Structure 1
Amino acid sequence: MMMTTTSDSRSTMPNDQEHARPPWSSAVRHKISDVLVIAVVITPAVNLFWRGTWNLLEESLPGDEVARAWLSLAIGSPVLALAGLLQHPLRRLGGRIRGKSMVGHHVLGMVYSYVIAFASVSQWRGFWNLPDYYIPRMVSPLGYALRTILGFVAVVILRTVLLGGGCPRSVSVDFDPDPFRVDLRFHTNKAERLSWQFVLDVMFSLWVCDFATVQFWAGLWGFLDVVLFPDNPCFSYWLSVGIGYGVHLLATFVQYPVSALSKQLKGTEQEFWKRLALEDAYLLIVNSGVVNIWRGVWSVYDCYVLPEQTKLSAWLSHGVGAAVCYLVFAGRSLSNGGGIGVSIDGESDDGTAVLNSSYLEDSPNETTRRVAEVDTRAPIN
């Protein structure tokens, strides 16, 4: 028996050595593929959808610029509020449909993600433009810098810096078992019945927190417009693309040591504040890179995608962006990351808050938790 075993081992050893690969090799290739899909496919497609939708609102809504901004807000904000307020019946409906037909559940999720994405663009457009009209002094290098600082201070105070990072930092796939969940700032979404606390939390989370995030984006975007080679716009846009993707590439490597350091800072209240400061400082840099990517890619589209036919260009951007995202099962990313709701800074003490989202792999524990939560929820009387 020993001779046979030795012979078998020797006969398989050369073949094993021939096909052996370092354990990390497959993981590295997988991570590179993941980063490329997010950066080269999903992010440009989401950006294309937002550009098209934004410009369609500009082209289609009646009235002057101020009226169109208010109309954008009137279209988007109520839809998002309803999604938050009605999340519990929507989640139960989704659970029933999923139990009968996974295809039906997927189709419902696709429709929901499209409506939410359109409403998000509409609300952002209102929040973005209205301060410019009512505070004209903000339209200057100093004004944009002040708007950026105030926006960042606001999200730090609200502990919603995590909301400032869209694609490529944050993406979401379409096969979430609980796509209608809307996490709120004060967690009153755990209550099954409507209450004033729940309604106020929905409005605060989806309007106030969103407004603060938009001001950071609008301020930094406007500041780059006026200081980064304003006399050579197309070069300025390509430079933003390079800066943004450079920051994203650097963050892809740096995120792991930052995550490890963040994970070590847990236990005492003092360590909590150190961890929060570390994560916010890191995310400020990462989110600034995201804004650069969006400014650059969006404006490059303006330069090259039917610049003389604005309405056709808008429709083409809107349709192609949505189609690409749905084809790669990333329709939930159309809302610039993945659905709506609030992620609270500092709540995760395992270092995962600073990690970029992954497209090619999902968290098994999180998926299992959400499936169990949906399946075991008792009906409301």
Structure 2
Amino acid sequence: MENDVNRKTSWRKTVLRIFDLFLVIFIITPCCILAWRGTWLLMDYYILPKKSKASCWISLLLGITYSICCHLIQEVLNRTCTRLRTIQVVYIIVTRLYYYLAGVFSISVWRGVWGLLDAYLGKSILNATVSCVLGLIVIIPFRGVSNLSFPPGFLSYDWNEKPFDLFHTRFNMQQRDTTFHEAVKHVADLLVSYILLIPASVVIWRGVWECTDLILYPKNLGMSGIVSTASGYSLFLILLVLNPGVQRISHKLSSFWLLRLIVLQLYAFIQFIAVNSMWRGIFNLLDAFVFPDSKLNRGITAHVIGFGALIILGASRSTGQVSFMVDGADESEPVKYLSHLRKACSNGRYSLLVDASSEDQSQSASDEDENSNTDEITNSNKPDII
């Protein structure tokens, strides 16, 4: 009897896990891509459309300024927000608006850097390859290859202990006092994070993207999108299967930290290739088949559907959270959506209203899987990563 119960429990967890991955990979990720593409197109249409360089400079400066300002005041916002939790409607409106703006201005930064590279350097395989290599030279010493991943490689959920804690820095320096030394360290951390590492990530993304554009059916946008999407999804699913093996190798190499770091960074880079291909494919499919003659209609449609669905699903933070994960510092597991949602909805409350870290963690003491999920939710500074 006990064996039958265990088998049923194991079968149930397997089914839920497969459905969980389906939601993350085939529902949430496309919605996030739609939000990015729609916003990007709308910025192309409205921000000085006839002056591409000026448009990109404005986009970049606005995005970086907003991001740094939010980083500086997010602790104040978190403290203020605790008073809004009793007014649920206001709390939802304020936090979701904040997540929406975070996504818009994060996209603005990426569009600015990407567009300026196109405007000043042009497009060629040599140029894209060299820029990609230079970007990797920058981020590898900072152990930041993991930060190249986007959904489905990571997710950030709207139910959070610190709802305004979105804009982080590489070294997580906080100016807790007014000493000159602390101020200098904080400013240096901001500059390294937002002026060096984020643009370096954009450079790498653009390099791989442009190489694929010039190699994979360059004259057939639709076919290029289909092949890119299929190859990206296929590679990502293969990586999911290989993930447990990579973790076992990582544990065995714990005494050889440099070799372990190389293995994990290589795995993270291959994951980035899969995600890049996936995003590029859906971008191209959208441009080829959804209002192909109207950038405005295509942008509005993708923007509204993307952000709207993500807000309903409780994953709108994923479009704009600036996180700096450290290669090899954290255990890597496939993203989990349903388990987080289940905890956020416990006690019959709707997930958008819940601070997941305040749930009854004692109820999960007998369930090892739930314990691990609770740790992930409580740590609001880290997104869920593969």
Give the TM-score taking structure 2 as reference length: 0.83
Shift of the 289–370 alpha-carbon distance from structure 1 to 2, 3 Å rule, reads closer
For 2:7 and 2:376, locate their aligned partners in 1 and report how far apart those are by CA, in whole Å.
Answer: 30
Aligned residue among 142, 153, 169 for 2:137? 153
- Equivalent residue letter for 2:151: C
Aligned residue among 121, 125, 146 for 2:111? 125
Match of 1:347 in 2: 329
Shift of the 241–187 alpha-carbon distance from structure 1 to 2, 3 Å rule, reads same
Aligned residue among 253, 260, 265 for 1:280? 265
For 1:177 and 1:250, locate their aligned partners in 2 and report how far apart those are by CA, in whole Å.
Answer: 33
Deviation of residue 190 (structure 1)?
7.0
- Equivalent residue letter for 2:57: W
Does residue 89 of the first structure (1) align with residue 76 of the second (2)? yes
Deviations 1:316-358 (A, max 9, x none): 11111100111111111222xxx1131122222xxx2x32322
Deviation of residue 204 (structure 1)?
2.1
For 2:80 and 2:17, locate their aligned partners in 1 and report how far apart those are by CA, in whole Å.
Answer: 36
Deviation of residue 154 (structure 1)?
1.9
Map 1:266-277 → 2, pairs under 5 A: 266=254, 268=255, 271-277=256-262
For 1:259 and 1:187, locate their aligned partners in 2 and report how far apart those are by CA, in whole Å.
Answer: 26
Deviations 1:294-332 (A, max 9, x none): 000011000111111211111111111100111111111
Q: Which runs of 5+ in 1 are unaligned?
A: 1-12, 372-381
- Equivalent residue letter for 1:84: H
For 2:174 and 2:334, locate their aligned partners in 1 and report how far apart those are by CA, in whole Å.
Answer: 25
Map 1:124-203 → 2, pairs under 5 A: 124-136=110-122, 139-181=123-165, 182-189=167-174, 191=176, 195-203=183-191
Deviation of residue 20 (structure 1)?
7.0
For 2:143 and 2:214, locate their aligned partners in 1 and report how far apart those are by CA, in whole Å.
Answer: 29
Deviation of residue 18 (structure 1)?
8.0
- Equivalent residue letter for 1:300: L
Deviations 1:134-172 (A, max 9, x none): 223xx1112112222222232212211111000111112
Match of 1:211 in 2: 199
Deviations 1:5-44 (A, max 9, x none): xxxxxxxx6xx88877444212211111111101111111
Match of 2:62 in 1: 75
RMSD: 2.2
Deviation of residue 106 (structure 1)?
3.5
Deviations 1:108-141 (A, max 9, x none): 22111111100010000011121222223xx111
Does residue 328 of the first structure (1) align with residue 313 of the second (2)? yes
2:121/2:127 contact within 8 Å kept: no
Match of 2:223 in 1: 235
For 1:105 and 1:265, locate their aligned partners in 2 and report how far apart those are by CA, in whole Å.
Answer: 46
- Equivalent residue letter for 2:301: L
Deviation of residue 187 (structure 1)?
2.2
Match of 1:356 in 2: 334
Match of 2:15 in 1: 29
Larger Rg: 1
Deviation of residue 237 (structure 1)?
1.1
1:144/1:223 contact within 8 Å kept: yes
Aligned residue among 208, 222, 229 for 1:220? 208
Q: Percent identity?
A: 27
For 1:102 and 1:33, locate their aligned partners in 2 and report how far apart those are by CA, in whole Å.
Answer: 30
Secondary structure in structure 1 of the residue aligned to 2:141:
helix
Q: Which runs of 5+ in 2 are unaligned?
A: 341-372, 382-386
2:21/2:335 contact within 8 Å kept: no
For 1:105 and 1:189, locate their aligned partners in 2 and report how far apart those are by CA, in whole Å.
Answer: 26
Does residue 255 of the first structure (1) align with residue 255 of the second (2)? no
2:292/2:298 contact within 8 Å kept: yes
Deviation of residue 236 (structure 1)?
1.3
Shift of the 360–308 alpha-carbon distance from structure 1 to 2, 3 Å rule, reads same
Give the TM-score taking structure 1 as reference length: 0.84
For 2:129 and 2:51, locate their aligned partners in 1 and report how far apart those are by CA, in whole Å.
Answer: 27
Deviation of residue 262 (structure 1)?
1.5
1:55/1:314 contact within 8 Å kept: yes
